[in-house]
Amino acid sequence: MSPDLQPGFRFDWSYTVPARASVPQLYHDTGFCLDMPDVLATGYLVGMMELACVNGIMPFMDWPREQSLGTMVRFSHFAPTPPGMTLRIEGELLEVDGRRLLFRVQAWDGVDRICEGTHERHVIDRSRFNAKVASKAAAAAEAGLA
């Protein structure tokens, strides 16, 4: 991670909401969700808020060796967005503590502000992280858990 990545860094990202991001489409295998409104699912929105942060800091990473993973989300989703609308997501890096990054993030859909909150990410070394995941998968398989 570049030492140039400092609190106060701001970024923005745009994303057009696909039909697959609506509650009935995203959770098509859960019967009661098929009757829910055809609007952007909160779970999908959380992912877009995370990806906006990843996209924002990517120029400061030694990609793909160095990446970041989300470790905390604290968002309020307070307005519906139908598929086809374009989100504008803005963020600001609030804190850098070693490999921990804390962001303030907000999103608009062109009509309303739809979401705001904070998000924490940790910078990882991809190869070391993947080795840990492989070890855990092997242990789970050995225990009959996978």
| 116 a catalytic residue | no
> Binding residue per annotation — 20?
no
For residue 92, how many C-alpha atoms fall within 13 Å in the half-sphere facing its CB? Answer: 7
How far apart CA 85 and CA 46 sit, in angstroms, is 16
Residue in 50, 81, 119, 120 annotated catalytic: 50
> Binding residue per annotation — 121?
yes
Residue in 66, 71, 77, 92 annotated catalytic: 77
| 28 a catalytic residue | no
Residue in 30, 42, 92, 142 annotated catalytic: 42
| 77 a catalytic residue | yes
Which segments are annotated as binding site for substrate?
Answer: 70, 121
Q: Which of the residues are catalytic?
A: 42, 50, 77
Which segments are annotated as binding site?
Answer: 70, 121
Which segments are annotated as binding site for CoA?
Answer: 70
